[in-house]
Amino acid sequence: MTLIDKLENNIRLDFDDGVALYELDLVTLGFYANRIRMEKFGKKTYYNVNRHINPTNICKDVCQFCAYSASRKNPNQYTMTHEEILEVVKNSVENGIKEVHIVSAHNPNTGLLWYLEVFSKIKTNFPELHIKALTAAEIHFLATEYQKSYEEIIDMMIEYGVDSMPGGGAEIFDESVRKRICGGKVSSSEWLEIHKLWHQKGRKSNATMLFGHIETRSNRVDHMLRLRDLQDITGGFNAFIPLVYQKENNFLKVTDFPTANEILKTFAISRILLDNIPNLKAYWVTSSIKLALIAQEFGANDLDGTIEKESINSAAGALSANGMKQKEFIELINNSGFEPVERDTLYNEVS
Ligand code: V47
């Protein structure tokens, strides 16, 4: 059976098929990815009204691609107090956010409870607000630093009020690439194990993939298929988020950057290969809003959120520091021929 026959008949693709997809032209890939998108979501494109907070940039790890953590390239260290975090949340709730996304660097100076108690304080003051917080990389850091098991940290997250987990820290699962770009951080199998444990508690999470640096196309396909395998077991991933590498102010020397064609192919292939993860998020922060709007025709059904303040990718060159206004989101999605639909973190539609 040819690859096209498999695509025509919605047959699950394997690793070799996934790599072969990249050899198809963009229009063909777009046709099949868009067909799946239209079957699942029609013209709906989701966005959410949220706030990102990054409470500290002091980090024990040294990821080569990261321009956010305090280092030789960014000497401006900071750690927010809980009061400062609560003040930000209060203002954002007044602006109508439904979700707060809290992700930090791996700061060994704060103590474990600094990471956790802020969640119960937020929940006490804003019980309706969804808290999406702590990547698998942070959970690994906290477990290692404070001699806890992953399950103990996860149980504490639930006790203190975390609702769902973001998908950060996955980078690229291939061990040799991982060693070069973020050696020493959570390993691929640990990242997957942490999400599995989280899902086994009946909770949802997202999964990212950082691409466009030193990885190969095969590495991307391998990454997607490791996620698909876990999703077959747990069903706990809500969304897959391909993150386009931003090159400024970091230590990773990259000479070839992906073209728009390669980025759109990667979105389309994600939609085709990940037949069991419902949502494909074109995170406008790393793809640029223009390409994210085009990605709607290549399988993406979600553009992420208004964010209000973005620190991680803007430190590496993305034009996202001040987020996006809801009105602008609605206009842009409408003008590109899709139907903007506000969602909450768990993809319930907000009327
Ligand atoms: O894990 C760091 C990435 C991630 C760079 O789950 C970079 O809903 C590109 O995970 N170029 C954090 N990317 C962001 C993230 C996320 C964002 C929005 C929504 C969700 C979600 C998750 O940012 C990190 C890392 O992979 N990152 N540096 C860079 N130079």
The verdict on residue 190 lying in a domain is yes
The verdict on residue 241 lying in a domain is yes
Average pLDDT over residues 37-65: 96
CATH number at residue 210: 3.20.20.70
Tally of domains in the chain: 1
Stated as kind and residue range, the H or E segment containing 45 is strand 44-48
Residue 166 CB less than 6 A away from ligand 1: yes
**3-class DSSP state for residue 349?**
strand
The verdict on residue 350 lying in a domain is no
The verdict on residue 327 lying in a domain is yes
The verdict on residue 9 lying in a domain is yes
* pLDDT over 80 (residue 72): no
Q: What is the mean pLDDT of the chain?
A: 96
To test the ligand 1 pocket, which listed residue (54, 99, 313) has its Cβ within 8 A of the most ligand atoms? 313
pLDDT value of position 181: 97
Q: Are 349 and 341 in contact (CB under 8 A)?
A: yes
The verdict on residue 349 lying in a domain is no
Which residue, 122, 80, 130, is CA-closest to 105? 80
Measure the N-to-C terminal CA separation of the chain; round to a whole number of Å.
45
Average pLDDT over residues 284-298: 96
Q: Give the model confidence (pLDDT) of 192-220 as tens digits.
A: 999 999 999 999 999 999 999 999 999 99
Residue 313 CB less than 6 A away from ligand 1: yes
User: For residue 227, what are the CA distances in angstroms to 188, 230, 287, 337?
Assistant: 11, 5, 21, 31
To test the ligand 1 pocket, which listed residue (100, 138, 210) has its Cβ within 8 A of the most ligand atoms? 210
* pLDDT over 90 (residue 256): no
The verdict on residue 69 lying in a domain is yes
pLDDT value of position 169: 98
The verdict on residue 348 lying in a domain is no
* pLDDT over 90 (residue 351): no
* Residues 6+ positions from 320 with CB-CB distance below 8 Å: 284, 285, 307, 310, 313, 314
Where are any strands of DSSP class E within 84-216?
99-102, 130-133, 205-211
Instruction: Say what percent of the chain tops pLDDT 70.
Output: 100
Atom 6 of ligand 1, nearest CA residue: 166
**What are the two backbone dihedrals, phi and then psi, of residue 311, each rounded to the nearest 5 degrees?**
-110, -35
* pLDDT over 80 (residue 73): no
* pLDDT over 80 (residue 71): no
pLDDT value of position 320: 87
Residue 310 CB less than 6 A away from ligand 1: no
| Total-model pTM | 0.98
Which residue, 125, 102, 94, is CA-closest to 51? 102
pLDDT value of position 348: 97
Q: How many angstroms is it from 69 CA to the middle of ligand 1?
A: 13
Range of the domain at 195: 3-342
Q: How many angstroms is it from 98 CA to the middle of ligand 1?
A: 20
Q: How many angstroms is it from 1 CA to the middle of ligand 1?
A: 38
Atom 16 of ligand 1, nearest CA residue: 168
